[in-house]
Amino acid sequence: MPTTAETIRDALLTARRERSLIETASLPVPASLAEGLAIARAVSRGAGFEDLGWKVAIAPDGTPIGGLMPGPWLAPGEVYEGAIGAELRVEIELGLRLSRDVPLRPGQPWSRAELLACCDKAFLGIEIVESRLANWSGNVAMPLWLTDAMGHGGYFVGPDLDMKVLDDLTGLGCFISLNGVTIYDQPAVHGNGDPMTPFLAWANRKEEGLGPLRAGQLVTTGSLCGGVLSPGKGEVVTKLSPLASVAFTLR
């Protein structure tokens, strides 16, 4: 009989390959966050994805968590292809590119300033959240959510921003429209206050987990607007006002 890890891995690999959805209740739940991360690694390796980027967060119990973002990595103006029947959510984020490796430093935690010094670029990032798990919103245990890279669907890498934007979100706004109709227009707010908090927590994790933080990788610091459900497909305009915007197509 397949193990929990094998069952989830094989189901997620099939769903990604066929661009289909899995009934969440049909999957077992990993016993721990660590097991969920290990399965995520197995899915990434099984699909042949490179370790190009990270989605980091903090679990409700305070544990730092991360997901390897397999892409697709898209440029503004390109098209994101969603699976039939999948929920598509749009997240406006601040991203960073690592200019050097950030190895684990047991007994010598990275400081916020040190971590920023390891980055050479900040940018406006737009994540498309599209889980392989059907009806996932609010209904998935965290260890299982981790196996699917926390619902990562794809990522638009937008214009460069001044690194100082990470220090103060005051006066910034998040705007999203679909086919010319506004679906979100609110001040930019990060769930942890400081956008660097989840990144710093992950850099200072106790164990390697999914692998090392390496130069050239991109790191997303978390949504500034929550996950905004798209009511349909079409032309999307996103803005982190007054700094930058990214337009793309959902199809």
Of 150, 146, 133, 138, the C-alpha closest to 34 is 146
* pLDDT attached to residue 71: 77
Could you tell me the residue ranges of all domains in the chain?
A: 4-250
**What pTM did the predictor assign?**
0.92
Of 8, 1, 2, the C-alpha closest to 132 is 8
* pLDDT attached to residue 211: 85
Q: pLDDT by residue (tens digit) across 179-214? A: 999 999 999 999 999 999 999 999 999 888 788 999
Q: pLDDT by residue (tens digit) across 70-116? A: 778 999 999 999 988 889 999 999 999 999 999 999 999 999 999 99
Helix, strand, or coil here: 142?
helix
DSSP assigned state of 107: T
DSSP 56-72: EEE-TTS-EEEEE----
Where residue 50 falls among pLDDT bands split at 50, 70, 90?
confident
The CATH number for 4-250, chosen from 1.20.210.10, 3.90.850.10, 3.40.190.10, 3.40.50.300, is 3.90.850.10
